[in-house]
Structure 1
Amino acid sequence: MSMTTPPGWYADQGAPGTERWWDGNAWTAHTRPIGGAYQQPYQQPQTVPLAVGGGPGGGRRGRVVAAVAAGLVLTVAIVAGVTLLGDDEPKTAPPAAATTTGPAPGPTDDTGGASPTDEPSADPTVLVDQLNGITLPIPDDWEKSDSVVDRSVTMTTVADYECPGETNRYCRYGRVMSFTATQTDAAGPEALAKEDIQDASDALYDEDSIGNSYYGGVTSHTVVKSEAVTVAGRTGYLVRWKVKTGSGPGGYVQSLAFPSTIGAESLIIVRFGFDAGPKGPPLSGMDTITEGIRRIGDATGGVGSSIGPS
């Protein structure tokens, strides 16, 4: 069963120190300072006089009216409490929505720290990262993720399987997520990609944030590719590893970093996790997705071609 993220104020990663309103379906243009006041005026509960028994049945009427009055006061108090507490408490990210029934899900969307920037799109062939101003092509047999984990927008393969390192958990054969880079000392896309690849490997194939080891942990890795690329008209950099895991066939991890096309041109990270083995997505799919990244509204976009090895 799928659940959507409830409306509310959430941290706007594109504008530090501000919050943006999520209306339950999309980000709106309404912003405010983090912790800024946005309260409905408190309404003093109105007191209802109690009937005083003056004849047969008077006491009973008094008790009935008293019960009605108590119910009205309780209702007003609950509404006021929700208005005052629910709207003003700062939040860092919309809560994740449950997306599956049956066995507990595996690490389909674990980013290791990334921002809910996805704006639902009517086009099922693209994943929209609204805050970073880009779209990513969704390959055949892939789908947008119904849940938001940390602060990323995510797509996964439709097919899943029981995780090799955990029982009663399901893993996806492929995962791709996009988010704004934060809290990094890396100077430029190349340094950021080389810094992020270890975190990507840990998040996608080693352990999740609460210690679940869906693949038996990463035992070793090999650098497959490290090169500059053009993404959505901007010069970026990618690093790709092949990782061996304690259970299962292992996989390929890629960190792609490039400047945003909007705002202050903060750096964007796109992480890829493709299972190795015959059932994993073709490795060429990483290049296809990279080449297909576009600025929102741009039908042609950047080339995504290789500039050359470092």
Structure 2
Amino acid sequence: MSTPGWYPDPGGRPGAYRYWDGHAWSGQTTTRPRPSPGDGRQGSRRGIVLVVVAVVLVIVLAITGILVARTLTGGAQPITDPQPESTVSAWDDSKPTASPTPSPSPSPSPSPTPSGTPTRRERISCPNGAPGEVAAHPNDGRVHGGKLSFPKVGADYGSPGPKHGLSWFYDVAAQSQLTEPGWESWFAVGEVAVQSGFEKPADAAESSMQCVINPSWFSDFESRTDVRNEAYELDGRKGWIISAEIRVDNPSISVDGDVVTIMIIDDGRTDRYSGFVSIVPIGDGPRNELAKQTLADLRLD
């Protein structure tokens, strides 16, 4: 027996134990033997293993609890395209006022003559739409929204997609481009519902212009100058177009503002009109030419 330890008394005493040190038996016996050095080491190892297992179990339970809590509270949600608020608060250029105050829905009165008088404006509430609810359209190299489409304006403007800022529109497809940090140019087509403030194409164009000139896009609004505000015809259908210079007082950008063009067309439906919106920087020759060409290339599907 080479392993040291306590063993039953070889002398035969009942309940007695004698220690074997690997070479000889001890002279004393005991009825309560202590663990031998080897047994102690084994016990220590077992204790360490138990402690490690306990720690691992605590960590696993903690992680499981965190995951369950995150699931129950909606944590770790995927990043999604941000949705617009239920309404857009815009400015109404048609009613000068000393300071912005709440106002009912707009009463647009389009005029074909340019008007360059800067005005202070009161807020209007733009109706709710669903720009991200896109209908099925042909995959033919054109950008489709509502019953309108235009040829893709090129890779510099990115792939077509919804423009959620047009929150009063439906079925929107747009191409956008940053022209400088904090400033954007884009082209979009979609449709608007025939409702209060949008009863006729002229009304819908004016109301849409006022909704575009909202504090999010033109927070430093200075003036609106209409360079075109008149009846429009596309593929035999009647509509209305407004093109306006929207100037801002924003020292952080290099341009004076944007040329905003909105065209609303009666496409033959009783509950919807189709619409086109373009926004390009004032004084930017190539982009303004692109806006004119895109308007000319519109067609009713």
Under a length normalisation based on structure 2, what TM-score does the superposition of the two structures give?
0.49
